[in-house]
Amino acid sequence: MDIKTIIISFLISVVTIAQTNWTTVFESSGFISTSDYNQTINYFQRLDEASDYADLFGFGRSPQGRDLNCLLVTKEDKTLIEQRIAEGKKPLERATVLIINGIHSGEIEGKDASMILLREILISKEKEYLLDSINILVVPIFNVDGHERRSKYNRINQNGPEEMGWRTTAQNYNLNRDWMKADSPEMQSMLVLVSTWNPDFIIDTHTTDGADYQYSVTYQVERFANIDPHTGYWLSQKFVPYLEKKVHEKGFLIFPYVSLKNWQAGLDSGITDWASSPRLSTGYFALRNRPSLLVETHMIKPYKERVYATKAVLETTFEFIKSNASELVELNQNADKNSVIEFFHKKIFLPVKFSLSEKFDEVLFKGYEYKKELSEISGKEKIVYTNIPKEIKVKFYREVAAVDSIQIPDYYIIPAEWSFLVNRMVFHGIQYFKSDYDTALIVERYRFSNVKYAENSYEGRQRVSFDLEKFEEEVIIPAGSFIVPTNQRTIRIITHLLEPKCEDSFVQWGFMNQIFEQKEYFEEYVMEKIAEEMMNENPELKKEFQKKLAEDESFKNNPYERLNFFYKKSPYWDNNLNLYPVMRYTLKF
């Protein structure tokens, strides 16, 4: 054996040993299992120790005491990065990409895909070129407590891994409904991470529920009026065509996220696009003026296929951003500036509610033949899928329009006694200051009526709906009140949290239900006397009462409401009942 052969054999053995040492639990199990929390964090810690480009750091703790970890992967000097973050600056030539895995920890292929891709970047170095113009932040597992509630039976719709985590946290929060209200300690920590690093692109990895079809992976991006129009265009017209083409070339069928117009009717009803609610990751990052990608592998495909399909999406996204890093950073900076220019300075109305049009395109969809049969169990028609591939013409509803909007004031004023709202807003990176002295101002206010509580709690809160009346009032703003200026990059988030008509506002989430509760009442014999005095002193009030008796039979036959009519008009009535304590103020020149 010559020296050349010996050297080649030695190098092959070294590479083989290195690869073996870096084999993931997913790979060593024959692609059917996933690592537990300790195995996962140990792998990421080893990446940190093996590469100067990697730095594993904690950013929070779970209710059960587990660390929330994030791996920074960069060729930059980390000291310079920290300095730049402190100064709020960002280099135009580099973009930061954040990957969030395991927000639903039963849907965990993003974690395994990240481990393999990071190995190829940091250890074997075949993908190291990706770091030439991007920094990567990887959260291996977001819902760490749910991840350790492992079972074979956590996801009835899902084909593997052998054991998987649970959808919600140890406190039973669905983290992907918590982006705005931030009730969970995990989300509070995540929002601080996001506000600190202000990533340029965000990837949120999941597994679907829903229909059966041939596609290995589906995706969703925001492209409607809930996001900066230039960002929406960049995503839909530049990024998406590249993503679909390259993932397909890597061997995986890909399609936009499959949401059925009518889940009972199946694909016959068509599929829909939508503008995501900000309680979801993609909707939330749209409010932050940042492009994001929702990755949803198909639940019934084998776990191996799902992991490698996710890896193909991650890798493709990195490749695209690497080639377009400067454009992306500039796009985001302009989106931040445009939000303030349009909604603060120009007072353009901010769209806050959206509706899906009945218009549709017909698209070819790679599904499976299926039939509908009467079920002896449920007693209704059921869908039965076969394994016979079939291209189906389906209706694709993807015209989404704004149906309600808000003109944003210069400031929101929050009384000192509602400081917990401000404390929650800080997690989002929202700036505020306190008033130094009492000030008389004419402000805009809201009063609620027809208040209705949801029948059941949702995500730990009793949501509430209502009608709104806006009015102006001169008030004294006491010293120590919280003043939230809206001329900041978080203007969209501020508005969605503080405007009552927004579905993810504090008030609709039930943060302030006590303002709807009447605390003082009358004794009927006392009110009888006061009502007589009020009628004697005010003939117009007496006429109004008599008119209501004549026109409203229900009122006429309700003794309590007849007395309550006068109580509401008396000086004893609580004028703060159903009054929104947060005020709007706009400078008048």
Confidence of residue 367 (pLDDT cuts 50, 70, 90): very high
Confidence of residue 17 (pLDDT cuts 50, 70, 90): very low
DSSP string across 533-575: HHHHH-HHHHHHHHHHHHH-HHHHT-HHHHHHHHHHTSTTS-T
Q: Is 165 left (phi over 0), alpha (psi -120 to 50) or beta?
A: beta
Mean pLDDT of all residues in 342-353: 98
C-alpha distance across the termini of the chain, in Å: 91
Mean pLDDT of all residues in 348-377: 96
Give dist(CA 46, CA 52) in Å, integer: 11
Q: What is the pLDDT of residue 20?
A: 55
**312-331: pLDDT as tens digits:** 999 999 999 999 999 999 99
Mean pLDDT of all residues in 183-193: 98
The 3 state secondary structure assigned to 101-119 is: CCCCCCCCHHHHHHHHHHH
pLDDT at 154 over 70: yes
Reported as type and span, the H/E element at residue 449 is strand 439-453
- Cα angle 581, 482, 574 (rounded to 5 degrees) comes to 20
Mean pLDDT of all residues in 463-488: 98
Q: What is the pLDDT of residue 224?
A: 97
Confidence of residue 4 (pLDDT cuts 50, 70, 90): low
Reported as type and span, the H/E element at residue 527 is helix 524-537
Q: What is the pLDDT of residue 16?
A: 46
Q: What one-letter code names the amino acid at 413? A: I
Q: What is the pLDDT of residue 86?
A: 80
With pLDDT > 90 as the criterion, what percentage of the chain qualifies?
A: 92
pLDDT at 10 over 80: no
Query: Phi, psi at residue 396, to the nearest 5°?
Result: -120, 110
Map tokens 């679909």 to a residue.
244
Mean pLDDT of all residues in 21-43: 98
- Secondary structure of residue 382 in the 3-state scheme: strand
Average pLDDT, the chain: 95
- Give the global pTM: 0.94
pLDDT at 147 over 90: yes
Q: What is the pLDDT of residue 3?
A: 56
Q: What is the pLDDT of residue 92?
A: 67
Give dist(CA 482, CA 582) in Å, integer: 10
